[in-house]
Structure 1
Amino acid sequence: MASLLFTPGFISVFDNASPSKEFRWLASVFCGIIMCKIVYDITATVSFLCFKGYGNLSYAKKVEWNNRGFSTFHAIVVAFSSLYLLLLSDLFKEDYDELIINRTSAVSETILGISLGYFFTDLAMIIWQYPALGGLEYVLHHGLSMYSIILALISGQAQIYILMVLFSECTTPFVNLRWYLDVAGQKNSTLYVFNGIALFLGWLIARVILFIYLFIHMAIYFDQVKQVFPLGFYCLLTVSPVLFAMNSFWFWKIAKGLIKTLSKARHTQ
């Protein structure tokens, strides 16, 4: 395994990184951690003032409530940023001479660093409160995400695929809203039903269909994918399918939950 990581290509990329670039990496990770702390505290304050039931929640529920606040904020930031970099910016346009697998920018590196700071913070809280905030599947998901982001950030390679995966975070606000409504006793509300439908459609598009497109894109550009340093190459071939399998399993559970919710809503009419 060490021989895969310490290849000449990977070492040269790391050694040639300028001090300003390394500072930007560290600063963006630190900003991601601070972002989580600030939004965590804001969520607690706003919820206490605006939601009467917040004060009656147990300590564990309050921690999860606040945790989902910065989870939602991170998801919105990285989803819009990834969408901009992938579709609206010139970074991955076809008419560039540089290989698409090697394209990077200060903005993409900053977004990856911020996201890395989030995953680090959230994973630390999951372990601290284990298993209240999530079981082994969340530890695996966050661990694989951090592992992939670190490789892409340091090497400057395969960032297009990392950004595709980060865009799938756009489903997180629907997941969190579903939890909030459940805790608030609103499982029978119209908003809960509509949010469930939005979660189903969003998950289908962003975490199932998008991953299929990612695999097709990798197959089309496989001559470039093979030029990624060995550990990064094998990471693309293994981590992405594992995440896709996890997303498919969760999609099956979401579909079952939606069918149950719609059936219950139909019987109450």
Structure 2
Amino acid sequence: MEIRELCVVTGSFVTFQLLFSGVSPVLSSTFTQGYSRLPPTKLNEWNSRLVSTIHALIVGLFCLYILWYDDAVNEDPVWGDPNLVKLNVAITCGYLLYDLLLLALNWSTMGDGFFVCHHLAALYAYGYVLTYGLLPYFANFRLISELSTPFVNQRWFFEALSYPRSHHLVVANGVAMAIVFFLVRIAVMPPYWARVFATFGTPEFERLGLSAQVAWIVSCVCLDVLNTVWMYKIARGCYKVITGKGHKPKGAKSSNHTNNHTD
């Protein structure tokens, strides 16, 4: 890893930590009255999700820019010029390290094994990108999935503020979340894997070496399995909201058991 990427990872880690501990509480208490009434455990997750949304918007939009305008990466997906991709990946790695630390420090209230697996698989794969500059197109393509995160987090914000599930904003966000999640995490699988298979047997693929090939394929399989599980949970929750089957009788305790911390 070059000094530039190491600095970006470090800067990203520190920046997201500052956003969590300093910026989010000020912004949230200023614009949302319900924020100050949340219990301490939910305050931590609120701040975490606001930071998650900021990261998703930065990285997701940067990802689209690279896919649309970086011809070198699109023409040579295995060994194309990785400079912009490495910058985007470094931002994400800094965020993932910050989030892993946050989960570890608040495991009793925020811990989720699925997210630890997701973060470790992503860091494992992105480490090759930052170290060797390989697979820039595929690394960047995976980051499209971040565009679904703001909707997932907004769902949690509504629930934390005690919006009824029948509220039109909750329903609209739930439908949008399911649609966007499907588009950027599930529908992209066939074209992604088609391009992966197209590289098999080529000189560029052989040049990667066995360790990079295994890291690439195994991490992608793990991430897609997790995305499929999350899609099932989101679709089930969306169905309940639309049909009204998820509404609880007055006085019943609510449950937040799906997508507790997706990014």
Structure 1 length as normaliser, TM-score?
A: 0.85
In the alignment, structure 1 residue 252 sits paired with structure 2 residue 232: yes
Tell me which moved more, 255-264 or 233-242: 233-242
In the alignment, structure 1 residue 161 sits paired with structure 2 residue 138: yes
Unaligned runs of 5+ in 1: 1-13, 15-21
Conserved in 2, the CA contact under 8 Å of 1:175 and 1:199?
yes
Could you tell me how far 1:211 is from its partner in structure 2? 2.3
Conserved in 2, the CA contact under 8 Å of 1:39 and 1:73?
no
Residue 47 of structure 1: aligned partner: 28
CA deviation profile, 1:48-81 (whole Å, cap 9, x unmatched): 1221221121111101000111110110111111
Conserved in 1, the CA contact under 8 Å of 2:73 and 2:136?
no
Matches within 5 A, 1:99-114: 99-114=76-91
CA distance in 1, matches of 2:106, 2:51: 16
Conserved in 2, the CA contact under 8 Å of 1:101 and 1:160?
yes
Q: 1:201 aligns with which of 174, 179, 183?
A: 179
Quote the sequence identity (%).
Answer: 25
> 2:15 corresponds to which letter in structure 1?
M
CA distance in 2, matches of 1:167, 1:199: 14
Conserved in 2, the CA contact under 8 Å of 1:85 and 1:91?
no
CA deviation profile, 1:190-244 (whole Å, cap 9, x unmatched): 1111111111111111111112221111111222333313211011221111111
Unaligned runs of 5+ in 2: 248-263
CA distance in 2, matches of 1:134, 1:191: 28
CA distance in 1, matches of 2:246, 2:105: 41
In the alignment, structure 1 residue 87 sits paired with structure 2 residue 65: no
Conserved in 2, the CA contact under 8 Å of 1:153 and 1:159?
no
CA distance in 1, matches of 2:11, 2:72: 23
In the alignment, structure 1 residue 226 sits paired with structure 2 residue 203: no
Residue 4 of structure 1: aligned partner: none
In the alignment, structure 1 residue 66 sits paired with structure 2 residue 47: yes
Could you tell me how far 1:100 is from its partner in structure 2? 2.9
Could you tell me how far 1:266 is from its partner in structure 2? 11
Runs of 4+ with >4 A deviation? none
Conserved in 2, the CA contact under 8 Å of 1:112 and 1:149?
yes
CA distance in 1, matches of 2:146, 2:44: 21
Tell me which moved more, 70-79 or 186-195: 186-195
> 1:49 corresponds to which letter in structure 2?
T
User: 1:178 aligns to what SS in structure 2?
Assistant: helix
User: 1:144 aligns to what SS in structure 2?
Assistant: helix
Shift in CA distance, 262/149, structure 1 to aligned 2, threshold 3 Å: same
CA distance in 1, matches of 2:190, 2:39: 41
In the alignment, structure 1 residue 140 sits paired with structure 2 residue 117: yes
RMSD, aligned α-carbons: 1.8
Conserved in 1, the CA contact under 8 Å of 2:45 and 2:110?
yes
Residue 188 of structure 2: aligned partner: 210
Residue 38 of structure 2: aligned partner: 57
User: 1:102 aligns to what SS in structure 2?
Assistant: coil
Structure 2 length as normaliser, TM-score?
A: 0.87
> 1:114 corresponds to which letter in structure 2?
I
**Number of positions where the alignment pairs a residue of Structure 1 with one of Structure 2:** 243
Q: 2:17 aligns with which of 18, 31, 37?
A: 37
